[in-house]
Amino acid sequence: MKGCRVCLNGWAESVKVGELDYWHCPNCAAMFLDEAHLPNRQAEYERYLLHKNDPYDLRYRNFLMKLYEPLLEKLRPGMKGLDFGCGSGPALGTMFIEKRYDVAFYDPFFYPDTSVLNRTYDFIICSEVIEHFHRPAHEFCKLDAMLNLGGWLGIMTCFLPNETQFANWHYRSDLTHVAFYCEKTFEYIAWQFGWNYEIKAKDIVLMQRNATSVPLSRRCNCI
């Protein structure tokens, strides 16, 4: 047994898929790849270079609308945002800039200016990012610290299918996809941080940081 890297529950159950070892958490229902199989930084970088995320590609923009539209409805003029894990072509952040929002970019490979992580924001975009987290609990703590009260975290990631479909799931075949979530996972994360949350559509989640006092034991023992 192994501790959950998403919710920090003390134990998770082993799941073998071919030559790879995964762990399933009965507490938050997340699935994550064993540390022994995590890709190194060079392998990640080479895979990300293959991404074709042109900010001005109309088909890609249409794909992003399923997160863009529900998040835009939550925002007010003058709000400041962060496109976290934006990749080489920060398309979603660019779309918000076109609506006259002030958006910073961060990506550990392509926009590595860590000074933007020392600020706070009214909204944070995580479009196809959280599946790459090697230390999800740590990253969610970081996101929580950067959100202003009332701020929104917009997430797009393919929701985990049932166990019988997992082995043949296309999303798992990307070597950089190492953590997987379902609706129960987001419900638990929201409880852990005292966030409000909304499942807006399949694969789309909005989280809101509110002023509820959350015991430290439920928050950032993960950093």
Is 172 within the bounds of a domain? no
What are 166-195's pLDDT values in tens digits? 999 999 999 999 999 999 999 999 999 999
Overall number of domains in the chain: 1
Is 173 within the bounds of a domain? no
Model confidence at 223, pLDDT cuts 50, 70, 90, reads very low
Model pLDDT, residue 42: 98
What are 35-64's pLDDT values in tens digits? 999 999 999 999 999 988 889 999 999 999
**Nearest to residue 159, comparing CAs of 199, 111, 194?**
199
> Using the 8-state DSSP alphabet, how is residue 149 labeled?
E
Is 3 within the bounds of a domain? no
Residue 105 belongs to a domain with what CATH number?
3.40.50.150
Is 202 within the bounds of a domain? yes
Is 209 within the bounds of a domain? yes
Is 34 within the bounds of a domain? no
- The rounded distance, in Å, linking the Cα atoms of 30 and 190 is 14
Q: What is the mean pLDDT of residues 108-115?
A: 98
Model pLDDT, residue 215: 54
What are 85-106's pLDDT values in tens digits? 999 999 999 999 999 999 999 9
Is 223 within the bounds of a domain? no
- The rounded distance, in Å, linking the Cα atoms of 223 and 205 is 23
Domain that holds residue 46: 39-159+181-218
Is 17 within the bounds of a domain? no
Would you say residue 152 has pLDDT above 60? yes
